[in-house]
Structure 1
Amino acid sequence: MDHSAGGFDLQECHKGQRTWAEVNLDHLVHNLQVIRKMLPEKTQVLAVVKADAYGHGDRHVAAELEKQGVGFFGVSNLDEAVALRAAGIRGEILIFGYTPAASCRVLADQRITQAVYSLSYARALSREAALAGCRVQVHNKLDTGMGRIGFACAGGTACIEELRTVYQLPGLQVTGTFTHLSHSDSRDDDAQAFTQQQRALFMAAVAALQKEGLDTGVLHIQNSAGILLHPDWNYDMARAGIILYGQNPAPECAGMADLRPVLELKSCVSMVKTVAEGTPISYGRTTVTTRETRVATIPVGYADGYPRILSRRASVLISGRRAPILGNICMDQMMVDVTDIPGVQEGDLVTLFGTDGPETITLDELAELAGTISYELTCMLSLRVPRVYIRNGQVVGQVQYNNPQALLASEVTDGSRLRR
């Protein structure tokens, strides 16, 4: 393959890989533009790139979004935040979850903002910051109905008293206040009433703090579903997660915005053979052919992150047509029925989700078959699946997690070199 700055042909990429995930940067930028147009002009977008950007590859995704003017990123933990800094990401980074208080020096030195969600945690972080002689920027996280981490806002004045104390703690600087909506992805009347209740609790707490002259900093409440269903909420920032990647927060949100899927999973046919009627296929002989059948084997399995529960339920695309999965999906391989697809041969392109010609297999379709959500499917993609970054039909970067020496100098979206 030609790894020059000009990129290389996708067909060459196909020849060089067993299985890979294509990340369409043009679609990523398109989705960002759609989100920005939905929101008030003053509302900035926080790009959620936790969990390796939902399986899309956090460093390449963040680099592309930063190039497009995104200045705030959300991650789950300190390791993710430090990795972004090591990759050259300069924007603000907010850690949503737990960071050991003893890591306060790293937070301060790396300019990473930490969510503070309880008084005990805030005090621990303050103590460590005082010992280290540093100051950590924090966003106060309020629990308005998620029942997860956060200062409980439904319990009277205790929440305000605790938040007031946080402002007095040495070594901490409050630069933001936020909450998380638990049921905003449903258009059901009861769910939307609960969402409005969460918003009311949040605003009451913010108003109480501001009345005392306390700076609540950047205010943010909307997640992806909140952006879609309540784009006119006029906050300082909105957290765009799954919609950045062109997926719906829930099936009932489909069609609410012109989103384009960013990720496609591809592979190739490794073998084709014809078997007689009555031939058992795969472990447990769960499929027995009912006719003479052409069986294609594909080098993808549950170890690659393709769920075994899709055995005998899902299909893949070959030559723009659906090929049903036969038998149980194996750790590293699966078999599909190509009897009705003429001319299938070894090396042919396979699309596990994405578009091939007139046919598309969506993540929502697979999620419904698997009894899960699209988020889980993208996050399940394993480290042995390379991520290949596409712009204008050309490969502009690649990450091979299981081969750290491969393509270490692959082009990042701004033309710089990605550090690992």
Structure 2
Amino acid sequence: MLHSSYIEISKSALQNNINFLKKEIGPNVRFSSVIKGNAYGHGIEQFAPIAQESGVDHFSVFSADEASRLLESLPKAATIVIMGYIDNPELEWAIQNDIEFFVFELDRLTEAAKVAMKLGKRAKIHLELETGMNRTGFDKGALEQAEATLQQCIAHVELQGICTHYAGAESLQNHDRVLSQYRLFNKMLLQLRKNSITPTQIHTACSAAMVSYPETRMDMVRIGIMQYGLWPSPETYSQYIGQHGDKTDPLKRLINWKSRVMSLKSVTQGNFIGYGTSYQAPRDMVLAVVPVGYSWGYSRSLSNQGQVLIRGQRAAVVGIVNMNVMMVDVTNIKDVQKHDEVVLLGKQKDQSITVASFGELSTQLNYELLTRLPTNIPRYIVD
């Protein structure tokens, strides 16, 4: 093993999730696969081709560099939308390659129209409305000017979509805020339509909104976390399960993160383990040294709290998680050997370490843990 850890991505689990999600939204709603944050840590280059094989033909990314990586990774053509960062000099590349992009300020709209006119090819844009997230988008005050600008450059701009993003649809405490956003979006959309501004698609729903607010599905949903087999929050999962007779989780996790035992170490009772004095051996112990630390995405906050799987059993992290290694207690696990498989995340025999368990122990969100997995950890596709 050249690398100290590696990630396996399950193709069959992805197919299961895509099938479930498409059935949930129905045949008339388009499915957009959100692969920002390096495909939520799964790897754009590895994930995108198997997503396409699973029937995905529409992808949403955050930035132009992600769009470029995706474009090079796809075996065949697909729709690509940049939801966030694209600098003005990159607009020519995007328009030339039929990359769609969100527009949420006048500068981007006018520049896109100029570049499109120069190329003799229309820019495909999605007009983002500010409805209460207070991040990006045209609010009611700026919308009038955006409408006028859009009308002026309509010969060079193709309005593919009108959209917004909800501020926390995964939590019931944001219920009133989400409904307020939904109402405001529809009000702003009606105003645009009165002025003959009609897009190809209306889209507002992320994974959580798709489940908790079915009315937000509209023409397209932008699904991130759920396609990877994880729920946006325990609340979203409970809501879904509560509405269905079958109480089994319909999603399957794609990811297994694995390493190997690098070394074994005997420690006598009373000695401190690792940096500092955070863990003192309560008995004679056998430790397995695992070559993964916080520089490889295993949070330092999991010191003395995390667990891994070795020989189908749980082994506790003891001492401080180092930059490149951590120690785990294998005293009660028989016959542990150097090079034994260590599962940091995923399944081994009938045991599993879930992403949610990391969140409970380290205060990290599902999203945060996954997207912090370094890009240079090798990722392999398995069935």
Q: TM-score with structure 2 length normalisation?
A: 0.92
Q: Are the aligned partners of 2:35 and 2:60 in contact in 1 as well (CA < 8 Å)?
A: yes
CA distance in 2, matches of 1:137, 1:167: 15
* Matched residue, 1:137: 124
* Matched residue, 2:77: 90
Q: How much has 1:84 moved relative to structure 2?
A: 1.6
CA distance in 1, matches of 2:166, 2:139: 14
Instruction: String of CA shifts for 1:231-263, please: whole Å, max 9, x gaps.
Output: 354511000000010112123223535111111
What number of residue pairs does the alignment pair up?
372
Q: How much has 1:134 moved relative to structure 2?
A: 4.0
Change (3 A) 1:251 1:234: closer
Matched, 1:253 2:236: yes
* Matched residue, 1:77: 63
Q: How much has 1:378 moved relative to structure 2?
A: 0.8
CA distance in 1, matches of 2:125, 2:372: 30
CA distance in 1, matches of 2:265, 2:94: 57
* Matched residue, 1:180: 165
Q: Are the aligned partners of 1:119 and 1:166 in contact in 2 as well (CA < 8 Å)?
A: no
SS in 2 for 1:35: helix
CA distance in 1, matches of 2:258, 2:217: 40
Aligned counterpart in structure 2 of residue 168 of structure 1, from 146, 152, 169: 152
Instruction: String of CA shifts for 1:34-57, please: whole Å, max 9, x gaps.
Output: 111111320010000112111111
Matched, 1:35 2:21: yes
Q: Are the aligned partners of 2:317 and 2:327 in contact in 1 as well (CA < 8 Å)?
A: yes
Letter in 2 for 1:38: E
* Matched residue, 2:296: 304
Q: How much has 1:161 moved relative to structure 2?
A: 4.2
CA distance in 2, matches of 1:249, 1:363: 12
Q: TM-score with structure 1 length normalisation?
A: 0.84
Q: CA RMSD in A?
A: 1.8
CA distance in 1, matches of 2:114, 2:96: 17
Q: How much has 1:353 moved relative to structure 2?
A: 1.3
Q: Are the aligned partners of 1:102 and 1:125 in contact in 2 as well (CA < 8 Å)?
A: no
* Matched residue, 2:244: none
User: Where in structure 1 do 4 or more consecutive aligned residues deviate above 6 Å?
Assistant: none
CA distance in 2, matches of 1:123, 1:101: 10
Q: Are the aligned partners of 2:203 and 2:217 in contact in 1 as well (CA < 8 Å)?
A: no
1:191-340 counterparts in 2 under 5 A? 191-231=174-214, 233-254=216-237, 256=240, 258-340=250-332
Unaligned runs of 5+ in 2: 241-248
Letter in 1 for 2:181: Q
SS in 1 for 2:324: coil
Letter in 1 for 2:233: A
Q: How much has 1:383 moved relative to structure 2?
A: 2.6
SS in 1 for 2:361: helix
* Matched residue, 2:133: 146
Q: How much has 1:285 moved relative to structure 2?
A: 3.2
Unaligned runs of 5+ in 1: 1-14, 392-420
